[in-house]
Structure 1
Amino acid sequence: MSDGLLISMEYPQPTALCPDERSLKSAELVGYLNNKASISTFVDPRFQARRTIVTLDDLTDAAPAEKSWVLKAATNAAHGASLDVYLHQAGQPVTLPAFADILTEFVIEEYLHIHRNWGIQLYIAADAQARLLAVTEQRVDADGIYTGGRFGHVTPLPAELRTECLAIAQRAADVGYRGLCSLDCAQTRDGQLAMLDLNFRITSGSIPLLALRSIRPDALDRPAESVKLTADTPIATLLDALRPALRAGGLLVTGGHDTRRTDNPINQSTLHLLVYGDDPADVATRRDAIETTFGH
């Protein structure tokens, strides 16, 4: 900042650290756009799942064990992106997540039975125009938890969702947002089209695309799948184990983190990888082999 450059924050930072006048977008705007309660402001009602905003005092009555529902945090603070979405299936015991102990407001959303799940990658440049970067697909497990993305050859996005995603990004641009965003949307088993989440920041959907564009631009339109590995061993140990696969080609390391380099008392290493190639089946097989090797 001492050189006169503007900071583009991805999560709200204290103004003492990043004054608004030195930021491309204010902390208040970033927090507001990423608040799960803001979806109703930016999404056309046709594409909204049924949802209500409740206080902590009303949470128990609004989230009964006998019904299926999704619990999302409603906060402008984002808490360093440590808040997860909690999915509850009817008849299962209710075990509220940790964020229920630190927040006072929540979003209760209907549980959708998803057939297709996309992540729409967009960007808003200095000219304040929203543009489509790519359409990706999201891999989710049996419990509906995100496990990675598919890139390149994906199921076509319905035209109505494409139009709405561009409109959402433009609405954000009109209130001052600049940068990358990822909009999660889906088609349910009964054909309903819905927006699930608005992520106004760099995400695990955009980082692989940026990596390919920088390192292997020829692979941008080829099949690819992302995967995250976690282990309690040092990150160097994880990388050593991956070296044969890296030398064989068709694999990129797009990010990594080792808590041993922080003040976190829990030792954990994380690696973000992208498997790419010419054949979707081969890519999926190699991605599955990596997950199996590392116990995921």
Structure 2
Amino acid sequence: MRGRPDSPPREHVISISTPLPPAVGAPRALTDVYGPGVAVCARPAVTAGNRHRNTVDALSARPIAVAGDTTVICSAGGTDPALLAQLRDGGLPVGDDLRDFRDEAGFAARVAEAMADGLPISMEYPHPTALCPDERVVKTAHLVGYLNNKATISTFVAPRFHARRSVVTRADLDEAAPAEKSWVLKAATNDAHGGSLDVYLHEAGDQVAFPAFTDLLGEFVIEEYLYLARNWGVQLYVGPDAVARLLAVTEQRVDDTGVYVGGRFGLVSAPPADLLAECLAITQRAADVGYRGLCSLDCAETLDGQLVMLDLNFRITSGSIPLLALQSVRPDALDGYAESLKLTAAAPLADLLAHVRPALNAGGVLITSGHDTTRTDNPVVLSTLQLLVFGDDPDDVTARRSALELTR
């Protein structure tokens, strides 16, 4: 999440000298990651005033397409019959035990139901222990919150890969974040919610407009603004055996403000071996204190050659779902090129599905998740589709992805 020039040419081989624990068959569904008999809940806690309601519900629906035999607690916005049929038609291992909910009471009831069925729950985001006690979870809320807290990254990352950052209070924020300098502001909280909702980038000379989260929290991270040559999302996972394994390396696409808008998969430029080894070591450190599941570590090389760890995302992310999807239906596509994107519309999901139908029929496009607020009690009408465009020609993949984004 930084300013960056055009990406350098992508290389065709990821070659590393550091041995990595081999996966026993590349994971294709959540069951391959978490093991049998687990319920996954990828919904962040709803904040005061129901802020970001659509985001938290849509996040809960992302694992549906790759759930397989794993139980998923998810918003009913992601279980539209036409959407599920499209996912299945694409060959994806759609979950066969989807515990969907329409509102907050329904969400709590579904969590209670899963616990009553004896299923340990993998909460991908922190939730109160009153909702889900520590003894009923795969990883505790405290651990998940601590691992994802922007202020604790130095605890798990070797010093040589640190970016310059400091933790400041709200009272000191104005002085620590002057308009004449470039900087990155991050929320320092255990209540991680994803969706790029807790990061704000400022370029020198622009007007400072602190985001809403600065009114809710007491501490923040101020980080140096870096200009990046390469920007990776290293996808890893920890299975029930507590061993960290590499899933794949992806590249991150960011918009003009530095916010993540999608990923590149398949034949991407390789991180230096020592940076990739550090990603594996970080994940193993997390595994050693109890973490299980998928994670994505954001790292980069700056224009002056510095290697830095930017963010630790210990949860299911928008990088891991497309990889599992491709591994399920088109593993050969990982020997080519793929780019992910998100489409949104203030309309029913049927309209978005109709919009992408020609591209789906033409081939080389896969829907990986979707959400429709009209299937919940959310009064805001908004539909979302996550898609993956793949092929052998990187320029063609980019052109088709751009065409879908421009015509939405």
Q: Find the counterpart in structure 1 of residue 130 from structure 2.
A: 16
Aligned residue identity for 1:85: V
Matched, 1:125 2:239: yes
Name which structure has the greater RCO, CA cutoff 8 Å, separation 6+.
Answer: 2
Deviation at 1:259, TM superposition (A): 2.1
Deviation at 1:231, TM superposition (A): 1.2
Q: Name the counterpart of 1:250.
A: 364
CA distance in structure 1 between the aligned counterparts of 2:226 and 2:196, rounded to whole angstroms: 24
SS in 2 for 1:8: strand
Report sequence identity in percent.
Answer: 73
> What SS is found at the alignment partner of 2:116?
coil
Structure 1 counterpart of 2:14: none
Count of matched residue positions in the alignment of Structure 1 and Structure 2: 294
Aligned partner of 1:270 in structure 2 is 384
Question: 1:73 aligned to 2:197?
Answer: no
Q: TM-score, normalised by structure 2?
A: 0.70
114-123 or 212-221, larger mean C-alpha shift: 212-221
Match for 1:244: what amino acid?
A: P
| Aligned match of 1:134 | 248
Report 1:208-287 matches (<5 A). 208-287=322-401
Which residue number in structure 1 is paired with residue 218 of structure 2?
104
Deviation at 1:271, TM superposition (A): 0.9
How far does the alpha carbon of each residue in 1:6-42 deviate from its partner, in whole angstroms, 9 at most, with x for none?
Answer: 1111101222222211111011111111111110111
Superposition deviation, residue 248 in structure 1? 1.0
- Work out whether residues 25 and 177 of structure 1, in 8 Å CA contact, stay in contact via their aligned partners in 2: yes
- Number of the residue aligned with 1:178: 292
Paired amino acid for 1:267 = V
Is contact 2:196–2:260 with CA below 8 Å preserved after alignment?
no
Greater Cα offset, 18-27 or 77-86: 77-86
- Structure 1 match to 2:150: 36
Tell me the distance in 2 between the aligned counterparts of 1:250 and 1:212. 11
Answer whether contact 2:371 2:384 (CA < 8 A) is retained. yes
Q: Return the alpha-carbon distance in structure 2 between the equivalents of residues 80 and 274 of structure 1.
A: 20
CA distance in 2: counterparts of 1:84 and 1:27, whole angstroms? 18
Instruction: Tell me the CA shift for residue 227 of structure 1.
Output: 0.4
Q: Structure 1 residue 154: deviation in Å?
A: 0.3
Q: Secondary structure at the match of 1:283?
A: helix
C-alpha root-mean-square deviation of aligned residues, in Å? Answer: 1.3
3-state SS in 2 of match to 1:239: helix
Gaps of 5+ in 1: none
Q: Normalised by the size of structure 1, how large is the TM-score? A: 0.96
Q: Give the SS at the match of 2:310.
A: strand
Task: Find the counterpart in structure 2 of residue 150 from structure 1.
Answer: 264
Aligned to 1:292: 406
Deviation sequence 1:79-128 (CA, Å, 0-9, x none): 57573310000011000011111111100000001110000000011111
Question: Is the partner of 2:270 in helix, strand or coil?
Answer: coil
Residue identity opposite 1:88 in structure 2: H
User: 2: CA distance between counterparts of 1:80 and 1:264?
Assistant: 20
Structure 2 CA distance for aligned equivalents of residues 154 and 30 of structure 1: 29
> Secondary structure at 1:246's aligned position in 2?
helix
Aligned in 2, Cα 1:86/1:80: closer, same or farther, shift over 3 Å? Answer: closer
Q: What is the distance in 2 between the residues matched to 1:135 and 1:203? A: 13
Match of 1:159 in 2: 273
Counterparts of 1:92 and 1:120, CA distance in 2? 32
Deviation at 1:268, TM superposition (A): 1.6
Distance in 1, Cα, partners of 2:288 & 2:392 = 39
Q: Residues 169 and 113 (structure 1 numbering): CA distance in 2 closer, same or farther, change over 3 Å?
A: same
CA contact (8 A) 1:11 1:81 kept: no
Q: What does the per-residue CA deviation read over 1:52-88, in whole Å, with 9 as the maximum and x for residues that have no partner?
A: 0011111111000000000000101125757331000
Q: What amino acid is aligned across from residue 363 of structure 2 in structure 1? A: G
1:114 corresponds in structure 2 to: 228
Asked if the contact 2:389/2:400 (under 8 Å) is kept, the reply is yes
